[in-house]
Every structure is written in structure tokens, then in C-alpha cells.
Structure 1
Amino acid sequence: MSEVTTNTTDNKTVAEPRRSFGSKVLAALVGIGALLVPTAAGFAVLLDPVLKKRKQGGDGGSDDGNWIRVASLNQIPPDGVPRQFAVIDPKPIDKWNRYEPQSERPVLLSRDSEDETPMAISVTCPHLGCIVTYDAKDDTILCPCHNAVFDAEGKRLSPDCVSPRDLDHLEVRVDEQTGDVLVNYKRFKGGIAAQEAI
């Protein structure tokens, strides 16, 4: 039986049941639980884009990268010569926003034989991010900013080259049904020896 105390106000007696400590704790826990559920849901929605990997941007058909259609296989002659191709991301997104299709930096594609998967080289110099170009006369890739020279496969030709690493290669796959060349487009940190994606 609960204890009863009496208060006298204006000559009236009012009975007040005294709450036990356990019921107060239970009420506090229920209140905290009621606040935690919507708070946790709000944080989950807010942090979802940060925690997720970047979703599929191109036509690769899966979310294992940013696969973008760059060319048709028949546009890349099997002569080993790097050719520049534009990269248009059809569904670019950052962590919270989607944008209209936008142009990224181009890539150099080449292949040595008909049955070979093309090689893709980023045109961004790993030194300071300048755009490199292929020089057909010398069969080299040049960075115009600091005169770094690479071979047709993106390897540094000079031991004292200002670039801290060879040119960055990108993953490539060919859709056997359509003949489309897909590149897993990424950007990499400049000025460091390791190839680290941004």
C-alpha cells in the first residue's frame, strides 16, 4: 500500500500518492527512448551520403565504382598510340547533390592489338595537376607546366622527373554486347608518391 501524505490548503485536505524511485527512473528511460529514436533517424539521414560509397555515375550497371562510357572499342585503333577521349559523367553527384551531366578531365586510351582491353591513363599530371598531352613525334606524353616526360604507357622517362610517380592508370572494361569502353573514373591526390584516390 502506498504512503499518503496530506497537504492542507484553504482548509481542504488533498491526498497525494508518493511515487516510488523505480517509477521515476522508468519514466525517465521512456522519455529518453522517445527522444533517441527520432534523433538517431535524423542523424542517419544526415550522415547517409557521407557513409555511403559514391554511387554508380556512369553506364557500368553496378555500384562498384564510377564506370563511365568513354568510347566505342572500334574508335581505338590497335596501334598502341594514346588518343584523348572526353569523359562526360551522365549522373555526377557529390555527397548530398545530383547535377546535370558534366565534363570531367579527359583520358588517354590505347591498345596494342584487336583482342586487348584498352589501357586508360589519366591526363592529370601527379605533380601539380596540369593536363598532359601526347606528342606523336617523340611517342611521349608531356606535361607542359614543368616539362615532365612520360612514355606512351605513362612511365616517367627521367629519374629526376618532377612528378612523384608515373601517370595514373584507370580501370577499364569493355561491354561485350555493345562494344562500349567503360572507365572507372577517379581523381588522385597530387604531389605524393602513392596513388591515392580523392
Structure 2
Amino acid sequence: MSGKDVFLSVGGTANDRQEAFVTALEQRLRAEGLVPNTVGRNTFSSDAPLTTVERLMSACSGTIVVALERTYFPQGVQKRGGDKEQAMGETRLATPWNQIEAAMSYSRGLPLLVLVQEGIREEGLLEPGYDWYVHAVPLDVSALNSQAFNGILASWKEKLKPPGDQAVPAQDTAPLTPETLTIGQIIGAMRPAQLWSILAACGGVIAVAFALGAQLIG
């Protein structure tokens, strides 16, 4: 049975609870007549990951981002070495790919639904207040049958559009500057190699900052 293709942004699962949650979500989407597509989970290619993501999104009608715990720090330091330095307690981070794929989807005009595991640090495109809905959920399969989730999913489904109707950002005659660009426009305009460089740099900075912070506090 065929259905509408949708892009499912989710990292590799780390444990049985995460796998059960993602599997249940995939089953729910299929029951709704949707076909979930995830690079590295059910879609594979010899091309660079970002190239594969871009090609896959072009055939999808919408995107669901599932932000699960990828990295955990018992303690750390924020803005270390400055007058705004701040100690941090337990911190849980999702995969950076959630941020990248959410931005790419937004730049294409794809309807976006963001599910964030309770306890995950909500920052960047995972925090509420943008042009899409961010729903915090417990890592429990039953959450996918709640009244709140049913309503959110139904509302998102109504916004799905044929792949050929993806929005192309209008060309503005006014000069563009970093101050006037949105996050989605900036990331959407980057080449795959540039996004890879930023991803690697951000991952390195986060790992080093928390490792050093943990040593200072410990």
C-alpha cells in the first residue's frame, strides 16, 4: 500500500526504549497512510549524507523531527572563562542532525513537526517559538496515542503538500545581510561541504567544553 512520503529526522537509537518509541511512531505514521523515510535507517546511499537528505526531502510532503537523547553530561560549565560563566547540572543533547534536517526542511517550506524527548535541552530549532510546533513527549509508546499527540498529528497532516509544491524562497532585490537572514535561509543556502564543516566544529566544541567543565567542577 502506497502513501505520502514524509521525512523522519531521527538519529540512530541508543537503547531498546528509544527503538521501541521510533518503531511505534513509524507504525503509527503508516497507519495514517504516510511512509516514513530516514537516512541511515530505511534509506541508504553511497552519496554524502547531506546530498542524500536533500534528494530524499525533495520527494517528501512534510517532516517530523524526533529529538532523542544522544549525549549525556552529568555536569558542565556554560560560557566558561567569562563573567557570565554558569555551572550546569545534568544535560541531555539530541543529535545535531535534528537541527540540520529541521533547517533544511524549513527552507524548503515543508510542514514541520518537532517531537522532543522530555529532558532534552531545547535550543536552536528544538525550542518553541518558531513557525512550527514543538511537542515535548515522554519516552513512552503510549504518548503516541494521547489526545494531545492525536490532535497535533492531525493538524500537521492537513498541511502536507505534494513534493512538487515545495516552496522555493523568493528572490529579494534588497541586499541580504546576516542580520536579515533566518536560520533556515542561512543553512539552506549552504553547500553540503560547508554544513559538514559546521557540524564537525560544533560537535567538537560541545564535547571539549563539557569535558573540561566536568573536570573543573569535579
Fold similarity call, TM over 0.5: no
Q: TM-score normalised to the size of structure 1?
A: 0.25
Q: Kindly name which structure, 1 or 2, has the bigger radius of gyration based on alpha carbons.
A: 1
> Per chain length, whose mean CA-contact separation is higher, i.e. which structure has more relative contact order (CA < 8 Å, sep 6+)?
2
Q: TM-score normalised to the size of structure 2?
A: 0.23
